[in-house]
Structures are given as structure tokens and as C-alpha cells.
Structure 1
Amino acid sequence: MEAALRDTGSVEVNGFPIHYNRYGTGSTVVLLIPGALGTAVTDFRQQLEGADAFNLKRYTFVVIELAGWGRSRPPKRPYGLSVYDNDVTCAAKLMEHLNYRNYSVIGWSDGAKVAILLGIFQPSRVNAIVASGIFTFCTQTNILPTIKTQNVDHWDIGLRANYVAVYGEESLQSLWDDHINFCKDLHAKVLAHVENLKPEERTKDVRVAIHEQLYHGQGKIRCPVLIVHGDKDPLIGLDQATYCKASIANCQLKRFPEASHNVHQSHAKEFRDAVVKFLDESSDFF
């Protein structure tokens, strides 16, 4: 990653030192938002170096480390109902700090939530959005696969090593415990909601928004959106992606039949080609 790195730095937002890495010198500016715990090194290596990387003479990528993750700590990540609002503020302030008035956004997993919310809350700034592995609503069952990942010793060896290199073993487990406890709180919220329904309304598919605007506000998005989904994703069902496709006016859905949750890593070339095509087509819009 060092050869491609252009610069790095941070900006203070809401009491957090929000760090970033910047790559490339191109005129198309793209904010990359990693998933939970993510950094440029852990989440976007294939997009920034190697045979399947984007053209860094055509694009400038800014990779944010969200509050409480990577180098953007301490303090601890402020889990709660407003955690994603804080992420949006941090991302927007970072891009202002770097003097980027307009930019596109690519978000993966937890970062996909922030990407969509940026389109809702910053419609005059965001040119286009790519959201991969998006999760917008909870049911009684759909967050359980994520909760089952709590013990990091059971992760894929390579995946675990990737994050241990950033956090160390003890910090990794502690930080992931915090994230999973947040997921458990969301699950409890669903169960409480279902309990308050009439018996005939109680089904396993009752939906509860993770964030009100993330779920109900997608119609406010003005820019083009590309939703990316791996059909073999064990954590996130296709219904999340199709909900976004139906809710966002200018939205495409790109499915990868053989991909899992990390489409951009396992199918880096195909992901790159789909995103380049989408951004090229979107340039006529913005």
C-alpha cells in the first residue's frame, strides 16, 4: 500500500481524530468508506494496488477511518441510535477539510450505510454512490448471522490476521465485542417491537429500521446509486438490496451470483469494471 499512498492525515470532528489515507491524482474524487473496524489496508487493498486496482491517474481516493476504528481513536466508538449520524458528519467534515466540494462515494458493509446516508443528508455534495453489502432493516432473524461472528477466533484465518495486524488480538476482540453488542441491541429492539404487535401481526419478517432515514429516507437521494450484492452473502439477504433498488429513484442493482459479502475483494476486477462503467454513465448526471 505504501507505493500508492499519496498522503495521510486527520481532522478533529466531534471529539474524534478522523484519519484518512489519500491515493491517486485523478480528477474523479471518490470517498471510500470501509466496513466495521475497517481501514484502507484491511478493506480496500485490491482497489488501490495490484492488477485489479483502479487507475490512480484517473481517480483520487480518500479512505476514511470512521470514529472509533483504525487510527480514529480514542475515544471509543459512540454506539447508539446516532452512531451513523456521527459517521456522516465525520465524513462530510473530512471532505470539506480536504477542499472537495463534490465527490462520489463507495461504501462497503457498515460503510454502505454511511454512503447511503451521505446521499440523503448531503445531496448537493454527493455525485454518485456505490453501496456494497448494504443492510438497512432488522427482522427477528436476519441479524443473527452477524451476532454469531462475535468470537474472532472463529473467523477465517486470513481475515482475522488482516485485522490483528491493525489492532492486535486483544483490542480486536474488544472492539468487535462492542460492535456485536450494538447488533444485539438492535435485535432486542426488533423483539420488543414484535412483542407490542397484535398476535396476528407477529411474523419473523416484521421489519424495524436500523436508522429511520436510512430506511425511510432513501427517496430523498438525488444522485445515481449502484447497489452491489453477492448472492452467496451469509450475512445479508438479497431483500436488503432489492429494497434499496425499489426505494431509490435512480438506482441500479448489480448482483454477483458466486460472491459472498466481500464482493469487492473476491471479484475485484469485475467490481472495478462495474464501478467504472457506473461512474462513467453517472458523469452525465452530475
Structure 2
Amino acid sequence: MAARCVRRVAVLSRGCVRAPCSQQPSAYYCSSIVSGRMEVNGVNIHYQQTGNGDHVVLLLPGALGCSKTDFGPQLTSLNKNVFTNIAWDPRRYGCSIPPNRDYPPDFFERDAKDAIDLMQALNFKRFSLLGWSDGGITALIAAARYPSLIHNLVVWGANAYVTEEDLKLYNAVKDVSKWSEKMRKPMEALYGKEYFTKTFEAWVEAMNTFTSRPDGKGNICQHLLPFIECPALIIHGEKDVMVPPFHPRFIHQQIKDSRLHLMPDGKHNLHLRYAEEFNRLVEEFLC
């Protein structure tokens, strides 16, 4: 898990004090959002950090998402006296570019290892995971693979396997030109039209491969769920059109003593649309 600091950039509000770069990020004694970079497993990883609480939380974004696009309300409003919040950009997403994103067969496992190694490199020995969508899958894998490091787990919009029903949903949105402008523009602004289009198409193709693997069951990480030992909260929006309800139920059934919370009006982005309710629910669970 060796890593070295390549460059750490801090953007601080007036009146905050920044510790020297040689000190750990927990030495930032203010509530502003700090941006930094770490070289982990041969790639340059970007992250954002805020708060100075004893309970450290890593937020993991969805497909093509990053700290800036996916977790604004959490970085802004989660209790900064209780929590130290880290939101990362997985390799080749967001500001963790270049190089361009690829999707080898083990890309979820690779992201899980990167996430864990980033936190260890930042000297956070034990922490909780908040994972949305693809980030939820990554969080499930990380919690199962590294149980001694994970304090609590919260996932929403995640699935542990892929079905033919899922593939129909993914393929229906593969052409990003058909997305609403509200959904498409932020990604185009972040990546540019060409990179966004090609990368999302590659993601859909990668998800399709799970059902064509030798086991034929579309398994991503369902075999790992029984190995998750930490307290776990699964949140599901009952109006989520991207994740059928059998997925959160399965995850809940497979993780011992986990909790399932349903949000009747929640969609796939429930943590953004209903941020206040979501943040309150998460804080109560983590505390």
C-alpha cells in the first residue's frame, strides 16, 4: 500500500489555517473543502476533504462521477465536527485524469483496492464507506475484502450482480445524446462531449460483459457479501428507475444484521434530490 504525495493543493476560506504539506490531511483545522492529490498504485488520484471529526468517511461516486459532481450536499452539510469526509475521484474519472478510463474485467476490484490504498496513504487507519451506484459496488467489495479497516457501510443505488433486466436499462441510456440537458451538460462540462460519450458507452459495454462470463449468473460481488462484518445500511429509492428493487433486497439479505431503508419518493440520485433527509439518516446511522 505504499504511496507518495505527488502534489497536494488546498483551497481554503479566509481565516483557516493550513498545516505544512508534510503533515497529514487531518491537520487542516477548518470546515472548508480541501482538494489534494496522491499517487496510488501508479495513478494520480484526486480527492476532496472537509471536516475534522474523529469519524472518517470515504464517499465513493457513481459511474463517471467524481467528488465535485456527486457529493456536493454531503461535503457541504455532513457534520464537520463529528466527521472527516473524503470524497475521491476513482482512477481516470473526474480530476483523476489522465490517463483515460478503461474497464478491464476486474475494474470494480481495482477501484476498491485504489480506494483502500488511498485512505491508508492518507494515514486513515479505519473509516466508514458511503457508496453510490458503482461506488456502492466498490464499497461492498472493499468492506468484504478489508473488514478490519471498515467501521460502517452505507450503500444506495448499488447492485451485486447484473441481470438481463439491468442490461435493458443500461442499453436504453447508452446514447448520451438522448439524455436530458440537465443530466448531460454537467458531464460534458467535466469531460468534453467526445470523452463523455465514448467513456459512458464503454461502461455500458463493460456491464454487459458480466452476464456473458463463464458462471452465466452476472455476478459482480454477490459472493463477497456474506464476508461483510461491519454494520451496514442499504438505502433504496422506490422510484429508482436504474436499480430494480430486488437488488437492495438481495444485498440486505446477504449482509448479516444489515438495515434496509426505503425512501418512497427517492430516485437514483436520492442523496442529491433529498439531501437533508439523506444526510440526517446517514448521520444517525454512523453515530
Give the TM-score taking structure 2 as reference length: 0.85
CA drift of 1:5 comes to 4.1
Instruction: Find the partner of 1:82 among 93, 106, 110.
Output: 106
The separation in 1 between residues aligned to 2:209 and 2:226, in whole angstroms, is: 27
Instruction: Find the partner of 1:134 among 139, 151, 158.
Output: 158
Contact 1:147/1:183 (<8 A) preserved: no
The separation in 2 between residues aligned to 1:41 and 1:9, in whole angstroms, is: 13
The separation in 2 between residues aligned to 1:57 and 1:154, in whole angstroms, is: 43
Instruction: Find the partner of 2:277 among 261, 270, 275.
Output: 270
Give the match for residue 41 of structure 1: 68
CA drift of 1:2 comes to 7.4
Q: Structure 1 stretches (4+) deviating beyond 3 angstroms?
A: 1-6
The separation in 2 between residues aligned to 1:8 and 1:79, in whole angstroms, is: 26
Instruction: Find the partner of 1:230 among 234, 237, 242.
Output: 237
Provide the secondary structure at the position in 2 that maps to 1:17: strand
Q: How many residues align?
A: 260
Give the match for residue 203 of structure 1: none
Q: Does 1:25 align with 2:32?
A: no
Instruction: Find the partner of 1:167 among 186, 191, 196.
Output: 191
CA drift of 1:57 comes to 2.5
**C-alpha RMSD of the superposition:** 1.8
Alpha carbons of 1:171 and 1:208: their partners in 2 closer, same or farther (altered >3 Å)? closer
Give the match for residue 11 of structure 1: 38
The separation in 2 between residues aligned to 1:127 and 1:193, in whole angstroms, is: 32
| Pairing of 1:44-193 with structure 2 (within 5 A) | 44-49=71-76, 53-187=77-211, 189=212
Deviates further, 140-149 or 225-234: 140-149
Provide the secondary structure at the position in 2 that maps to 1:30: strand
Relative contact order (C-alpha < 8 Å, sep 6+): which is higher?
1
Letter of the 1:209 partner, please give it.
N
Structure 1 residue runs without a partner (length 5+): 195-206, 281-286
CA drift of 1:223 comes to 0.3
The separation in 2 between residues aligned to 1:264 and 1:36, in whole angstroms, is: 15
Provide the secondary structure at the position in 2 that maps to 1:11: strand
CA drift of 1:126 comes to 0.4
Give the TM-score taking structure 1 as reference length: 0.85
Q: Does 1:259 align with 2:269?
A: no
The percent of aligned pairs where both chains have the same amino acid is 31
Provide the secondary structure at the position in 2 that maps to 1:61: strand
CA drift of 1:276 comes to 0.9
